[in-house]
Chains A and B, each alone.
Chain A
Amino acid sequence: MFELATLLAAEGEEMPSVLAVPLDELIIGLIAFLLVFGTLAKFVLPKIKVTLDERANLIEGGLERAGKAEEEAASVLLEYQKQLAGAREEASAIRTAAQADRAAIVDEARNEARVAAASVTTAAEAAMAAERAQAVSALTRQVGELALDLADKVVGEALANDARVSSTVDAFIADLEKVASK
């Protein structure tokens, strides 16, 4: 230190006190602080303040929203359950109605079929009766003719144009028909 002090003294510099406050250092210190303060206060810190406030709001709002959402979910669930119950009821009603419908349709179809079958049977019976009647009348006529031929041959005389013969034949046939219808 002694050496240095003499060195400094030799250079002609009086060493200033450590408590000296030179004006230029004061001004430079002030400039340094104002630079930091000015820049941070004007450009840098407002941004982070906004972000932090936003985040705080978001968290607060988030909690609020979560509560609201929970309530909403509960009400939606209730409504849903109500709707589900309604739908079930409706479905069962529809099912019941459908079953009734089905029974009615089946009954109707059955009736229709029965009626159709009956009408077919009736028609067939009528046709059969008609054919039978036709057959009976044809057979009667043939039997008459056969009998006539046979009588002709037995008697040996032609009775064709005789009115009596004709009425006798008619009577015979009538008798025959009576027999046939018995």
Chain B
Amino acid sequence: MAFGVIASSSPDCHLFSGCGFPAPGAEIFQFDAIFSFTIGSLSFNVSKVTVLLFLAVVLIIGFFGYAFRKPKLVPRGAQNVGELGYLFIRDGIVRETIGKGGDKFIPFLFSFFFLVWILNFWGVVPGAQLPVTSIFAIPVTFAIIVYVTWVPLGIYKQGFVGFFKNIMFPPGVPKVMYILLTPIELISNFLVRPFTHAVRLFANMFAGHLLLATFSVAAFYLLSFSVIGILGSAASFSLAVFLTGFEAFIQALQAYIFTLLAAVYIGSALHAEH
């Protein structure tokens, strides 16, 4: 974590020691490669990000593989928890937004929800303390996957013309309005949608992590033998703890929002909105 990086880079940097506040910045999202390898002309860096990413993959596959290894009609233990997750995705997201016809997208959205959630959750796990989704490339990847799923799906289900017509010419609007509405719909659905889908998740995780890092660093920096130092340090520390709990909530919420939006996009591809 940033705390460690900065603390180790400036162990004696405290208030009144003639040292400015080492506010954490973008550098806390940079990680040295543990090792690199090259495939073709592309070099892959295996860093903390990569490790946490695949650890999440292993955890998710491991947990659900274990929970659903031999599903019983009367669930016990891990199966109960797993079913809770499954039913949350099925009833809370898929059937709510797409309907019963969306049941075949449950695995897709289920994977997204739990992958995003665990990747977010690393942000408050001691030792990991990095929401992997605060690395922009990760939410971008996920948003691209969703985009290349719902757009071809819409073309397949509604026909090329029908799909674009349904999006660009929403019915129930005076014809004159299309002059204004059509470019807006086109831009918002095909350009802004994937961008906001990725940025919403990224920015939340990025900001949250930066916030946690700032207060953690502040707690360390303010720690000195003075009233203002001790009070400030204690306040910063309390805030860091509080924000950690808050972040845990935001992480789950953002995973839910990401998945819900993916479901809404798929739903809009399956049947025309409006």
Contacts and interface: CB of A to CB of B under 8 A. Distances in A.
B234 interface: no
Contacts of B108: 37, 41
The main secondary structure of chain B at its interface with chain A is helix
Contacts of A44: 61, 64-65, 68
A3 B9 contact: yes
A47 B71 CA distance: 7
B44 A1 contact: no
B42 interface: yes
A75 interface: no
B30 A1 contact: no
A1 B22 contact: yes
Interface residues of B, number: 54
A36 B137 contact: no
Interface in A135-180: none
A40 B61 contact: yes
Interface string B77-98: 0010011001100000000000
A116 B68 CA distance: 95
Contacts of A48: 68, 71, 79, 82-83, 86
B73 interface: yes
Contacts of A19: 136
A4 interface: yes
A29 B137 contact: yes
Most A Cβ at <10 Å: residue of B9, B82, B83, B110: B110
**For the complex of A and B, 4 pairs with smallest distance between CB atoms:** A29-B141, A25-B137, A41-B107, A51-B71
Interface of A: 1-5, 7-8, 15-30, 32-33, 35-37, 39-41, 43-45, 47-52, 54-55, 58
